Amino acid sequence: QQQVKQSPQSLIVQKGGISIINCAYENTAFDYFPWYQQFPGKGPALLIAIRPDVSEKKEGRFTISFNKSAKQFSLHIMDSQPGDSATYFCAASGGNFNKFYFGSGTKLNVKP
Amino acid sequence: DAMVIQNPRYQVTQFGKPVTLSCSQTLNHNVMYWYQQKSSQAPKLLFHYYDKDFNNEADTPDNFQSRRPNTSFCFLDIRSPGLGDAAMYLCATSRDLGGTGELFFGEGSRLTVL
């Protein structure tokens, strides 16, 4: 059973637009939801993370929206820039789980 | 400064020829992980160490082994690489288990199998 489902698989956005990536999770025991950004040939790096006690977290142009009842969370990139072009992975963990469950990734291409 | 360092960055081996990938960390984290990532896919956890305790994922092939001689270093041994083992191998660390803290990834080691 896939614990974290991510969509879309790929996304093309014009410079200055809003990029939105969605994730849904299965297990209500998860209590930590990070987003990782990965550039080609590099390891993933933590971008932003949220815990279920808040519905939104913002860091600069990046915002996570969290809907506990729907078991969904999303990443919003405001004023998207070509430098944001990368693959984004959502993940979930916590509770009794000793590992992170990753989504399948979204390849974002921001066109100049 | 790099906190999780992987060597080599690129490794080419022949079918069936053993390979060792290394990972070192300066974070003094308790947990070290090895992930396999194939093109356009999510990282797949192979195993992790909590201190010296080794935890293997149920679906990790026996062909993959790991060693953690001390807190700072962890090795991934692929005993007989097959063509299907060509991938990026990512080492990561976290302070503790439970998945409640940040995962710090290395830059990865890209393995090519000829």
- What CATH topology corresponds to B4-113? Immunoglobulin-like (2.60.40)
> Exposure of A107 by Cβ count < 10 A (0-12 exposed, 13-18 middle, 19+ buried)?
middle
Tens digit of each residue's pLDDT (9 = 90 or more) over B79-109: 999 999 999 999 999 988 766 678 899 999 9
Contact B20, B76 (CB under 8 A): yes
pLDDT of residue B64: 97
Average the pLDDT over each of A38-52, A73-87, B14-28, B88-102 and give the range with the smallest value. Answer: B88-102
CB–CB of A99 and B48 under 8 A? yes
pLDDT band at residue B39 using 50, 70 and 90 as cut-offs: confident
Helix residue ranges, H only, B22-84: none
Is residue B62 pLDDT above 90, yes or no?
yes
Residues of A with CB under 8 A from a CB of B: 31-32, 34, 36, 41-46, 49, 87, 89, 93-95, 97-100, 102-105, 107
- CA count, 13 A, side-chain hemisphere, B108: 22
Yes or no, beta carbons of A98 and B103 under 8 Å apart: no
The pLDDT of residue A82 is above 80: yes
Question: A94 vs B22, which has greater pLDDT?
Answer: B22
The pLDDT mean for chain B works out to: 93
- In this predicted structure, what is the pLDDT of residue B99? 64
Percent above pLDDT 70 for chain A? 97
Print burial letters for B99-109: b (CB count within 10 Å at least 16), e (below 16).
bbbbbbbbbbb
Residue A5 burial by Cβ neighbours in a 10 Å radius (0-12, 13-18, 19+): middle
Mean pLDDT value of segment B15-21: 97
Task: Give residue limits of the domains in chain A.
Answer: 4-111
Give me the pLDDT at residue A6, please: 96
Q: Which CATH superfamily is domain A4-111 in?
A: Immunoglobulins (2.60.40.10)
Q: What is the spatial distance between Cα B82 and Cα B79, in angstroms, rounded to a whole number?
A: 10
What does the alpha-carbon distance between residue B12 and residue B91 come to, in Å, rounded to a whole number? 18
State how far residue A42 is from chain B, nearest Cα, in angstroms.
Answer: 5
Look at residues B57, B47, B64, B111 and name the one whose alpha carbon lies nearest to residue B83. B111
- Quick one: residue B46, left, alpha or beta (phi over 0 = left, psi -120 to 50 = alpha)? alpha
Whether residue A23 is predicted with pLDDT greater than 80 in this model: the reply is yes
pLDDT exceeds 70 at position A77: yes
- Please name the residues in contact with A74: beta carbons below 8 A apart, sequence gap of 6 or more: A20, A21, A22, A23, A64, A65
Residue B40: pLDDT band with limits 50, 70, 90: confident
